[in-house]
Structure 1
Amino acid sequence: MLGVPRDADGQAIKSAYRHRAKTAHPDSGGDVETFSKLKASYELLLDPVRRKIYDDTGFDPQLTDAKDLEGLMMLDALVNDIILDERQPGSFDPVAAMRRKLTDRIVNTRFHILELERHRGRIRNHMDRIGRRPESDVLGRMLSARCDAIADAMSKAEAEIKVIEQAYSMLEGYSYELDAEMPKAAE
């Protein structure tokens, strides 16, 4: 949009913006939408955090849906795993490995939710069996608070599953070319 190189500094970005804004501004006969995109690009490039995220992912954190950003953060961790993997490129499928790790996380999170539900059921069973003191129900309030905490944990786990599913969907369309035949180890 601004026509600056990838490593342009703040001064070069400002200069390019001012130059383009002269003709792109609606008061100078420019298009409102084009000027809006120009201004958004300028603001993105001047913010070092947004710029880094955009350079690394192609997403602007201020304009991207939070769900996409959370998925990107999850994929970023998986990309780090690929970088640290010592196996030879072409000898394994890192995209399939990322999908497996995401699937495993969903399965583990679902088991965690089932375990939380089991605990909550036990607490409720205790609550039904404990006789209440007429003046204050300290135990009832404590057990009820535990049930609420478990419900919050379950909600967080369900939200995590949605993020994992978003990250998984971001991998759609990717494939990886494996080497046809890997050299065999010397016997």
Structure 2
Amino acid sequence: MLGLERDADDNAVKAAYRKAAKGMHPDSGGDADQFARLQTCYDLLRDPVRRKVFDDTGFDPQLADPRDLKGLMLLEPLVNEVILDEREPGSFDPLAAMRRKLSDDIVKSRFHILELERHRNRVRQHIDRLGRKAGTDFLGSMLRARSQSIAEAIRNAETQIQSIEQAYAMLEGYSYELAAALEPVLVKGEAAE
């Protein structure tokens, strides 16, 4: 929107903003929505943390959908794994590896939820069988607190699954070109199989 290069310094950002603002400001006959977008861009470029996140991801942490940011947080370590992988680029499909890892994480989270639900059910059965003591029911209170903690853990695991699914969806549309398989070299006198 400001027509700047990625490595523009603060002075270039200010100059480009001032130039664009003159024509876009609502007091000068400009569109209020366009000017608001210009102001958002300027604010982003002036904040070094927001700018770094935007440069690295294409997302503004203050304006992006929180689900996208959670997805990015899950993709970040997977990108790091690709970078650190010693295999030759083109010899493996990093996108397939990322998708596999995310799918595995979803399965693990769903299994974790099943285990938590099993534990919560057992706690509820104990609560149902526990006779109440007159006065303070500390055992009942402790068991109910455990049941609530387990319910919270289930909600957290469900939220984690949603984040993983968002990260997976963010990979849609990407493809990776593998290097062509090398043809076997024939030595003189050998027949091709």
Q: TM-score, normalised by structure 2?
A: 0.91
Q: Distance in 1 between matches of 2:36 and 2:68?
A: 23
Deviation at 1:128, TM superposition (A): 1.9
Other structure's SS at 1:82 match: helix
Give 2:158's aligned residue. Answer: 158
Question: Structure 1 residues 14, 174: CA separation in 2 closer, same or farther (over 3 Å shift)?
Answer: same
Give 1:131's aligned residue. Answer: 131
Q: Distance in 1 between matches of 2:171 and 2:51?
A: 23
Q: 1:53-97: CA deviations, max 9, x gaps?
A: 111111111111101111111111211111111111111100010
Deviation at 1:169, TM superposition (A): 0.5
Q: Does 1:58 align with 2:62?
A: no
Deviation at 1:108, TM superposition (A): 0.2
Deviation at 1:182, TM superposition (A): 5.0
* Structure label with greater radius of gyration: 2
Provide structure 1 residue ranges, at least 5 long, that are not aligned to the other structure.
none
**Identical-pair percentage:** 64
Q: 1:38-66: CA deviations, max 9, x gaps?
A: 11110010011111111111111111110
Q: Distance in 2 between matches of 1:181 and 1:37?
A: 48
Q: Given residue 130 of structure 2, which amino acid in structure 1 is its aligned partner?
A: I
Deviation at 1:183, TM superposition (A): 8.2
Q: Given residue 61 of structure 2, which amino acid in structure 1 is its aligned partner?
A: P
Give 1:92's aligned residue. Answer: 92
Other structure's SS at 1:77 match: helix
Q: Distance in 2 between matches of 1:44 and 1:108?
A: 37
Mapped contact 1:106–1:161 kept (Cα < 8 A): yes
**After TM superposition, what 4+ stretches of structure 1 lie above 6 angstroms from structure 2?**
none
Q: Given residue 133 of structure 1, which amino acid in structure 2 is its aligned partner?
A: K
Mapped contact 1:24–1:30 kept (Cα < 8 A): yes
Q: Does 1:29 align with 2:29?
A: yes
Q: Distance in 1 between matches of 2:31 and 2:127?
A: 66
Q: 1:7-46: CA deviations, max 9, x gaps?
A: 1222221122112211111211222222122111100100
Number of corresponding residues: 184
Other structure's SS at 2:72 match: helix
Aligned runs of 1:68-107 on 2, under 5 Å?
68-107=68-107
Deviation at 1:3, TM superposition (A): 2.0
Q: 1:144-165: CA deviations, max 9, x gaps?
A: 0000000000000000000000
Q: Given residue 101 of structure 1, which amino acid in structure 2 is its aligned partner?
A: K
Question: Structure 1 residues 28, 117: CA separation in 2 closer, same or farther (over 3 Å shift)?
Answer: same
